[in-house]
Amino acid sequence: MRARLAERLRALGHEPSQAHALQGGDLSEVWALAEVVVKTGETVATEGRMLAALGAAGAPVPAVHHVEPGLLILERLQPDRPTPAHWQAFGTALAQLHAHPADSYGWEEDHAFGPVALVNAPLPAQPGLWPAFWAERRLLPLAGTLPADRARRVERLAATLPDRLPADPGGLIHGDLWQGNLVFTAGRAMLIDPAVIRGHGEVDLGMLTLFGQPPEAFVQGYGPLAPGWRERRPVYQLHPALVHLALFGTAYAGLVDRLLDACGA
């Protein structure tokens, strides 16, 4: 741990002498202390505010102890083995989050997955603007990183979104809900590492099922989905697949093409 960071932590009442590094991914450095987790990086203050917003909406998240530019201090969670009861309760909590009232689509701050920008400039929560948000803020920015033939397929799909996506879904979503961003504790499943926006809850469900499948207990807890969800799912899964392609290369090209095929693009 850098000397300046250790000095700042001591000033905030945390002893860094026993800190050890954790895997932080592309966005930040992460350190575990006795009772807290310390994250440093350009986006961690945004992450802290997003976690606080999720918590204020009733979602299960670690307590946010301190936020300042470049520094985030969170409650340290103690992982435990997940049970069907954990999964069912998490499904119920996620459905409640997705039903949270929204007066706009997007978020007040932009975010990023490493070098991949997430432009979140809000659009009013008016009929027809959710499909516009998903096209303009998620799919089309990544189309510019693709070979011409694949880019044209994404552009064709984006043009059809008013006919594919709900006009006015509302809701609050985690935004990067793969199973690695769930920590199961003795009490419940906790959400970490958000990329929050206001929008359609099926975005989270698409990401949660992109690389795996949650157990039936989660499905029972979440409850039934609106008609047409199977057709919408690949539309929502395409964005994280494009992010993986941009970050990690051609190993994800086949996934992108399969999702475009599933969308009929």
Contact 259, 234 (CB under 8 A): yes
- Eight-class DSSP state of 79: B
What tokens were used for 22? 């954790």
Inter-residue contact 101 to 170 (CB < 8 Å)? yes
Question: Is the backbone of residue 10 left (phi > 0), alpha (psi -120 to 50) or beta?
Answer: alpha
231 CB neighbour count, 10 Å cutoff = 13
Contact 51, 62 (CB under 8 A): yes
176 is catalytic: yes
Residue from 176, 193, 257, 261 carrying the catalytic annotation: 176
Q: Which residues are catalytic?
A: 176
